[in-house]
């Protein structure tokens, strides 16, 4: 990877913040966009802005072609069998909600049935299942973690062995707090041996790791475009074709209709039966352009680069005795940490972020949409989080470490 060349594709990195060159370490929240993605979105609006699947005029045909090609690109990106298995949504959150509501509407899960999640889940893969528990009486089982922040597979096996009627296992691929990468292939095997549907939250893995849904053998895989160089408001849900054909769509009207009368409705073919109304056409086209960019760089190269950055940053942070880092040694480029004061209290993560911002360094603070993980495992109210991507460098990490070392007089 030629990181210097890559950085030239991201004009935002040329900004100055408080007189300092921007260092963007908030990639787990949302990534920056290369010019090629912005140009693809702009080209749609300027040259062939029209609705899809609705007209025979040239603009509509061009828009339809580009939007469907984006589905094909995303399908190829994660090794789905075809674009029929790729539903465009707004984001990972909507993708998981689609699964939850469609399973319930299709009576694939009912009162007394069990769903398994983990303690490291993002709220998006927790709150929808809690809704089924609280309103419709499903049983929600939570897999705990080992001391190093890895998933306790023995606990998962205990739950699957002990509990009856487990219908769904829904697990995050990579934690947005701990950086932990779960063995989703093994988890999926255990789920299928139980006869359960296996759902993977891939929001933090798809941008950083080469994904092969056939090798994972997941039934659903949810991810977001905005975390992988694409526009906001666009995401995807992969679902095995036979399962998608069985389920009831939970959004209805517009493009998901094939035929409707006063007496009945026939749904459209896949994947359009799950994309109701006018789609985020520009976002979908931008999503496809983001996939083009990532594939040009190579996902294996991106993963290797980010793991090197994470390892380098961890080694530097471990030299600062008042910095506490959470999570395992082997991880994606996500590092949650706190600065400890001499009195044993935690220095406000917001204060850390404010100080870093004065030096042009953007990080995230809070619970990162993972409050149960913070409350019940880390036992802290919040953390600061630095997260890296393909355009970040070791020099940027050195600047980040320098600022943190400057906190010595504060703590």
**Cis before residue 183, ω within 30 degrees of 0?**
no
- My answer on whether 241 and 305 are in the same domain is no
The residue annotated as part of the active site, out of 3, 340, 369, 380, is 369
CA-to-CA separations, 403 to 166, 285, 357, 361, 400, in angstroms, rounded: 49, 40, 10, 9, 5
Q: pLDDT by residue (tens digit) across 267-291?
A: 889 999 999 999 999 999 999 999 9
Residues of the chain with pLDDT under 50: none
* Distance from C-alpha of 146 to C-alpha of 351, rounded to nearest angstrom: 30
Indicate the SS3 state at residue 23.
strand
Domain end position, chosen among 245, 279, 296: 296
Q: Does residue 192 share a domain with residue 50? A: yes
Pair 230, 282 in one domain: yes
Give the pLDDT confidence score for residue 226 in this predicted structure: 98
Q: What is the CATH number of the domain that holds 148?
A: 3.40.640.10
- Report CA dihedral (37, 40, 41, 45) to the nearest 10 degrees: 160
Q: E strand or H helix at 219, and its extent?
A: none
Looking at the structure, tell me whether residues 256 and 382 fall in a common domain. no
HSE toward the beta carbon, residue 380, CA cutoff 13 A: 23
Based on the fold, state whether residues 307 and 264 are members of the same structural domain: no
In a domain, 32, yes or no: no
30 part of a folded domain: no
Give the per-residue pLDDT at 272.
95
Q: What is the pLDDT of residues 91-146, one digit of tens each?
A: 999 999 999 999 999 999 999 999 999 999 999 999 999 999 999 999 999 999 99
- Indicate whether 338 and 240 sit together in one domain: no
Residue 329: per-residue pLDDT: 93
Give the pLDDT confidence score for residue 1 in this predicted structure: 86
Q: Same structural domain for residues 57 and 154?
A: yes
Whether residue 147 is contained in a domain is answered as yes
Report the C-alpha gap between 203 and 222 in whole angstroms: 7
Residues 8 and 49 in one domain: no
| Predicted local confidence at residue 351, as pLDDT | 96
Kindly state whether residue 134 falls inside one of the protein's structural domains.
Answer: yes
- 3-state secondary structure string across 234-255: CEEEEECHHHHHHCCCCCCCHH
Tell me, yes or no, whether 259 and 346 share the same domain.
Answer: no
Q: Of 177, 167, 86, 151, whose CA–CA distance to 368 is shortest?
A: 177
Do 318 and 250 reside in the same domain of the chain? no
Domain total of the chain: 2
247 and 328 inside one domain: no
The label of the residue with tokens 């880390």 reads: 378
Residue 348 domain-assigned (yes or no): yes
Q: What pLDDT was estimated at residue 5? A: 97
Which one of 296, 314, 347 terminates a domain?
A: 296
Query: How much is the pLDDT for 243?
Result: 97
Is 120 in a helix, a strand, or coil? coil
Q: What is the CATH number of the domain that holds 362?
A: 3.90.1150.10
* Distance, CA of 341 to CA of 351 (rounded, Å): 13
What is the reported pLDDT for 99? 98
User: Is 269 in the same domain as 132?
Assistant: yes
58, 88, 171 from 283: Cα distances, Å: 20, 10, 27
Q: Answer yes or no: 367 catalytic.
A: no
In the three-class reduction of DSSP (H, G, I as helix; E, B as strand; rest coil), residue 229 is classed as coil
Domain boundary (269, 296, 323) is at 296
SS3 category, 108: coil
Domain that holds residue 132: 37-296
- Contact status, residue 28 vs residue 386, Cβ threshold 8 Å: no
Is 124 inside a domain boundary? Answer: yes
Does 31 fall in a domain? no
């Amino acid at each position: 990877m030629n990181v210097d060349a890559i950085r030239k594709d991201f004009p935002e990195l040329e900004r100055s913040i408080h007189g300092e060159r921007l260092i963007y370490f908030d990639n787990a929240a949302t990534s920056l966009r290369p010019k090629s993605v912005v140009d693809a979105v702009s080209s749609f609006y300027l040259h062939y802005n029209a609705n899809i699947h609705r007209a025979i005029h040239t603009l509509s045909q061009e828009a339809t072609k580009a939007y469907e090609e984006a589905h094909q690109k995303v399908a190829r990106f994660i090794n789905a069998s075809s674009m029929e298995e790729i539903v465009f949504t707004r984001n990972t959150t909507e993708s998981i909600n689609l699964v939850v509501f469609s399973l319930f509407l299709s009576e694939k899960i009912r009162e007394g049935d069990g769903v398994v999640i983990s303690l490291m889940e993002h709220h998006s893969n927790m709150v929808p299942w809690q809704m089924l528990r609280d309103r419709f009486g499903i049983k929600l089982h939570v897999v705990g973690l080992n001391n190093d922040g890895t998933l306790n597979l023995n606990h998962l096996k205990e739950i699957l062995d002990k509990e009856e009627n487990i219908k769904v296992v829904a697990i995050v691929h990579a934690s947005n707090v701990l950086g932990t990468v779960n063995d989703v292939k093994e988890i999926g095997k255990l789920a299928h041996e139980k006869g359960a549907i296996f759902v993977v939250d891939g929001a933090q893995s798809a941008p950083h790791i080469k994904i092969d849904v056939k090798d994972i053998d997941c039934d659903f895989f949810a991810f977001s475009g905005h975390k992988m160089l694409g526009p906001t408001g666009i995401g995807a849900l992969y679902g095995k074709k036979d399962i998608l054909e069985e389920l009831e769509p939970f959004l209805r009207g517009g493009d998901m209709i094939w035929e409707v009368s006063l007496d009945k409705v026939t749904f459209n073919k896949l994947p359009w039966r799950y994309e109701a109304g006018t789609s985020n056409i520009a976002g979908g086209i931008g999503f496809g352009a983001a996939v083009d960019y990532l594939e040009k760089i190579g996902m294996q190269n991106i993963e290797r680069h980010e793991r090197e950055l994470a390892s380098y940053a961890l080694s530097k942070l471990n030299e600062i005795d008042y910095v506490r880092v959470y999570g395992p040694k082997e991880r994606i480029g996500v590092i949650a940490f706190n600065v400890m004061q001499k009195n044993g209290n935690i220095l406000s993560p917001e204060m850390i972020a404010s100080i870093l911002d004065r030096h042009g360094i953007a990080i995230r603070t809070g619970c990162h949409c993972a409050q149960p993980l913070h409350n019940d495992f880390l036992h802290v109210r919040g953390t600061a989080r630095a997260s890296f991507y393909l355009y970040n460098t070791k020099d940027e990490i050195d600047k980040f470490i320098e600022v943190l070392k400057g906190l010595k007089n504060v703590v």
